Structure 1
């Protein structure tokens, strides 16, 4: 089935970037068990990269954890949407919550039916979870052979992969406006806000664009000729 093929493609493509996380984490000073525990328990790539990046730069552990937490808050919003799309049994939801991430959300929402969304979510989540944790282990073990992980820019691998997956889905004028404003907010606030906070502020791009469009439509209706009341 096409949905299985696409879901596996996403799982494999993104799962391989676990090499980058494992090498970056181990190269930044975290132990093998700590690195693997992050992938097993946290399992949200951007938050993991944010945490190890802050720690390797000499940041306070509490501050680093707070930044990673703020960055991971986006998954809660994904969960609200996916709960409606997937409508999973109550007994399954606590386990499925571990797989509510960028990639599973993108694949699920791209499906036209609930059955397809559930299948896409399951295949993407399972393949990505298994491969991400395997490559995290291999990357951490091979960190010494790689050398200076900062010189390789490995922390950019995960975001780059997801951007490549997301870009083809941005088609309408509204979606492009939201994406552009989100980029401006995220990059513009990066030097002045703590790690993770610019992403949360960038999430305001969607309601801001929708609000602006609503006001413009309202003015258009007010300016249109009609009957006196």
Structure 2
């Protein structure tokens, strides 16, 4: 684990730490809401250990506390977690190795760990960012849920604290650097527009799945057309020193 920390820059480690702090607040809120709503402490703890997906956990507990069945809660969580499927394809290269390592990596796959991994260009840094972020969040989240559950109803109305805004704020901060790329920016804005459009007509959590349609407008990854044109011209043009040497040889033969 120490070698993984040496692989990443201090700025990246600092950002991961800040994300852990933000998620700890949300985790404490989840634990408090669950216990104060009448659920035993083991329920939010089991969800945090086995599911480890904040949005799905909140949705599942919300269904149960509102009188829904356990089957409805599981179905809601599965729908929300469907967004992680494309994330798995995007970071598949960091989950190489024996089956138990891939299984552990799948458990640690979250919006944040995927985002930090995708920010890195080098394979070593991608793996380090994924595992450090995923493992840190897993420990911090479960400890925060436990603490929040123990405190229970003492927090009171958690909506007043605005903790529900912590998740989108963290994700927005993570994706902003990627929006400098035109294709990524087009896909993100298109997906956001589609999600906002369908939000009044579909259940909560489903709009994020419709946002994946933005990927259809991302375009081909890689250099811009101008860069490709310049690169193609450079590739088709012979190297100047070699051309000069060839010209000198022709002149020498002419003499």
- Give 1:176's match in structure 2, choosing from 150, 167, 185: 185
Partner of 1:31: 40
Q: 1:102 aligns with which of 71, 94, 111?
A: 111
- Closer, same or farther: CA 63–15 of 1 in aligned 2, 3 Å: same
Tell me how far apart the structure 1 counterparts of residues 73 and 204 of structure 2 sit (CA, whole Å). Answer: 8
1:19 alignment counterpart: 28
User: Where does 1:37-56 land on structure 2 (aligned, <5 Å)?
Assistant: 37-56=46-65
SS class of match (2:186): helix
| TM-score when normalising by structure 1 | 0.80
What is aligned with 2:134? 125
Query: What is the root-mean-square deviation of aligned Cα atoms in Å?
Result: 2.5
What is the match of residue 120 of structure 2? Answer: 111
User: Conserved in 2, the CA contact under 8 Å of 1:51 and 1:67?
Assistant: yes
SS at match of 2:180: coil
Structure 1 residue runs of 5 or longer lacking an equivalent are: 212-216, 218-229
User: Which residue of structure 1 lines up, in the alignment, with residue 79 of structure 2?
Assistant: 70
- For residue 145 of structure 1, report the CA deviation from its aligned partner: 1.0
Higher mean displacement: 58-67 or 115-124: 58-67
CA-CA distance at 1:4 after TM superposition? 4.0
Task: Note the C-alpha offset of 1:153.
Answer: 4.1
CA contact (8 A) 1:17 1:157 kept: yes
Q: Which residue of 1 aligns with 2:252?
A: none
Contact map agreement 1:25 1:52 (CA 8 A) in 2: yes
Shift of 1:148: 2.7
- Give the total of aligned pairs: 212
TM-score by length of 2: 0.72
SS where residue 144 of structure 2 aligns?
Answer: helix
Give the secondary structure class of the aligned counterpart of 1:17. helix
Q: 1:68 to 1:91 in 2, by over 3 A?
A: closer
Deviates more, 1:168-177 or 1:30-39: 168-177
Q: How far 1:180 moved relative to its partner?
A: 2.1
Residues 78-120 of structure 1 deviation map (CA, whole Å, 9 limit, x = unaligned)? 1222222453343411111110111111111111211111111
Unmatched runs of 5 consecutive residues or more in structure 2: 1-7, 220-224, 226-255
In our comparison, the structure showing a higher alpha carbon Rg is 2
1-side partners of 2:37 and 2:197: how far apart?
27
- Aligned counterpart in structure 2 of residue 136 of structure 1, from 139, 142, 145: 145
**Range moving further from structure 2, 186-195 or 50-59:** 50-59
Alpha-carbon separation, structure 2, partners of 1:164 and 1:143: 30
Query: SS at the partner of 1:67?
Result: helix
Instruction: Report if aligned partners of 1:12, 1:127 keep a CA contact under 8 Å in 2.
Output: no
